């Protein structure tokens, strides 16, 4: 018996399937989708067994069920599919080969977190609700295009004025990229994961945004004044305002080391 031929194309095929499975896992993590997927796999395996045993009636019934399964999956997994497509769109910046070839190769200006931290501390004291997205490598155009373009230098007074209660730009999120406030009143995707009932709309939006991008999201609670930091699908609640700068800097340093490692690999 000879060995099964294994070519480079087979290797690429396996890598692509693994990547797709990983993205599906990321998109469905924390939801009931894995249980539904398990049920679908069981039904499919049962259909294979029934068909092998030539059980015509049951095989026909299960076959009809599977034939309409694609449409059923689209309906059942509509939130997860939307989240999956958003994840792909947010990662566009990291895979934009044209930009890498023809771009200048310079990184965006570093974000000055001091005015952001000061604004969050002061808004925490007055219980002013706020939602701030600090962009990293993910392409945030899908988010900023739905908001109000600003292109302003980061400053504490500006952030406080934006989130001042009943101000025109109060609702939604502010998006920061580099040393600029890119847009305000942006709508963020709300997480589909099971979260505690104590999570408000801002916390759900921050968690949802962190699940589909590498951004760092700051939340100031309008009810308690508590400050939360979301990144990588996790949220750190009730961050001590005194230690907010160190916490935020730690997140930025982690992302900075990841970007440096990627550059070394590319070089």
Angle between helices 69-76 and 33-52 (to 10 degrees): 170
Q: What is the 3-state secondary structure (H, E, C) of 86-142?
A: HHHHHHHHHHCHHHHHHCCCCCCCCCCHHHHHHHHHHHHHCCCCEEEEECCCCCCHH
pLDDT of res. 117: 93
Residue 189 included in any domain: yes
What is the spatial distance between Cα 136 and Cα 98, in angstroms, rounded to a whole number?
19
Reduced to 3 states (helix: H, G, I; strand: E, B; else coil), residue 167 is coil
Query: Does residue 65 sit in the same domain as residue 181?
Result: no
Query: Does residue 90 sit in the same domain as residue 161?
Result: no
* Number of domain units in the chain: 2
For residues 229 and 239, the answer to whether their CB atoms sit within 8 Å is yes
Residue 1 included in any domain: no
For residue 199, give the nearest of 155, 230, 231 by alpha carbon.
230
Which residue among 101, 133, 158 closes a domain? 101
What is the spatial distance between Cα 237 and Cα 207, in angstroms, rounded to a whole number?
11
Query: Does residue 128 sit in the same domain as residue 88?
Result: no
The mean-pLDDT minimum among 58-67, 99-108, 134-143, 249-258 falls in 99-108
Which residue among 75, 101, 127 closes a domain? 101
Residue 106 included in any domain: no
Query: Does residue 122 sit in the same domain as residue 92?
Result: no
CA angle 116, 122, 123 (to 5 degrees): 85
Are β-strands 216-220 and 130-134 bridged in parallel, bridged antiparallel, or unpaired?
antiparallel
Residue 254 included in any domain: yes
pLDDT exceeds 60 at position 73:
yes
pLDDT of res. 134: 94
Residue 33 included in any domain: yes
Q: Report, as an integer, the average pLDDT of 40-67.
A: 83
CA-based end-to-end distance of the chain = 44
Query: Does residue 152 sit in the same domain as residue 92?
Result: no
**Is the entire prediction scored with pTM above 0.85?**
no
Provide CB contacts within 8 A for 149, sequence distance 6+.
182, 183
pLDDT of res. 29: 63
Query: Does residue 156 sit in the same domain as residue 259?
Result: yes
Query: Does residue 140 sit in the same domain as residue 32?
Result: no
CATH number at residue 163: 3.40.1700.10
Under the banding of pLDDT at 50, 70 and 90, the label for residue 155 is: very high
What average pLDDT does the chain have? 79
What is the spatial distance between Cα 150 and Cα 136, in angstroms, rounded to a whole number?
18
Query: Does residue 141 sit in the same domain as residue 227?
Result: yes
Residue 107 included in any domain: no
Under the banding of pLDDT at 50, 70 and 90, the label for residue 136 is: confident
Query: Does residue 198 sit in the same domain as residue 153?
Result: yes
Is the pLDDT higher at 201 or at 7?
A: 201
pLDDT exceeds 80 at position 27:
no
Residue 173 included in any domain: yes
Query: Does residue 53 sit in the same domain as residue 129?
Result: no
Query: Does residue 47 sit in the same domain as residue 75?
Result: yes
For residues 229 and 248, the answer to whether their CB atoms sit within 8 Å is yes
Containing domain of residue 50, as a range?
8-101
- pLDDT, tens digit (0-9, with 9 covering 90-100), for 86-116: 666 655 544 444 444 444 344 445 678 899 9
Residue 216 included in any domain: yes
Query: Does residue 207 sit in the same domain as residue 133?
Result: yes
What is the spatial distance between Cα 175 and Cα 57, in angstroms, rounded to a whole number?
58
pLDDT of res. 253: 73
Token pair listed for 99: 């930009």
For residues 132 and 228, the answer to whether their CB atoms sit within 8 Å is no
Is the pLDDT higher at 61 or at 74?
A: 61
Angle between helices 33-52 and 56-67 (to 10 degrees): 140
- pLDDT, tens digit (0-9, with 9 covering 90-100), for 221-255: 999 999 999 988 889 998 988 788 888 888 777 55
Residue 44 exposure: Cα atoms within 13 Å on the Cβ side: 11
pLDDT exceeds 60 at position 2:
no
pLDDT exceeds 80 at position 157:
yes
Under the banding of pLDDT at 50, 70 and 90, the label for residue 158 is: very high
Which residue among 101, 133, 154 closes a domain? 101
For residues 116 and 236, the answer to whether their CB atoms sit within 8 Å is no
């Amino acid at each position: 018996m000879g060995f099964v031929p294994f070519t480079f194309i087979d290797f690429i095929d396996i890598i692509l399937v693994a990547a797709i499975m990983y993205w599906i896992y990321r998109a469905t993590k924390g939801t009931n989708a894995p249980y539904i997927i398990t049920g679908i796999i069981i039904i499919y395996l049962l259909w294979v067994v029934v068909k092998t045993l030539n059980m015509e009636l049951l095989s026909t019934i299960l076959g009809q069920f599977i034939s309409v399964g694609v449409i059923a999956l689209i309906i059942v997994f509509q939130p997860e599919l939307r989240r999956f497509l958003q994840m792909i769109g947010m990662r566009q910046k990291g895979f934009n080969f044209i930009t890498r070839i023809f771009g200048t190769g310079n990184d965006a200006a570093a974000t000055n977190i001091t005015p952001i931290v000061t604004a969050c501390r002061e808004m925490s004291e007055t219980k002013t609700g706020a939602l701030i997205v600090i962009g990293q490598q993910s392409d945030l155009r899908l988010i900023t295009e739905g908001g109000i373009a600003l292109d302003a230098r980061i400053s504490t007074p500006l952030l406080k004025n934006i989130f001042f209660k009943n101000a025109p730009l109060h609702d939604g999120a502010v998006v920061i990229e580099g040393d600029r406030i890119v847009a305000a009143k942006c709508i963020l995707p709300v997480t589909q994961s099971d979260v505690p009932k104590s999570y408000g709309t801002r916390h759900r939006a921050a968690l949802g945004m962190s699940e589909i991008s590498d951004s760092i999201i700051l939340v100031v609670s309008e009810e308690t004044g508590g400050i939360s930091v979301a990144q990588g699908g996790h949220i750190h609640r009730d961050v001590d305002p005194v230690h907010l700068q160190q916490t935020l800097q730690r997140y930025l340093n982690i992302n900075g080391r990841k970007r440096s490692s990627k550059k070394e690999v590319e070089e």
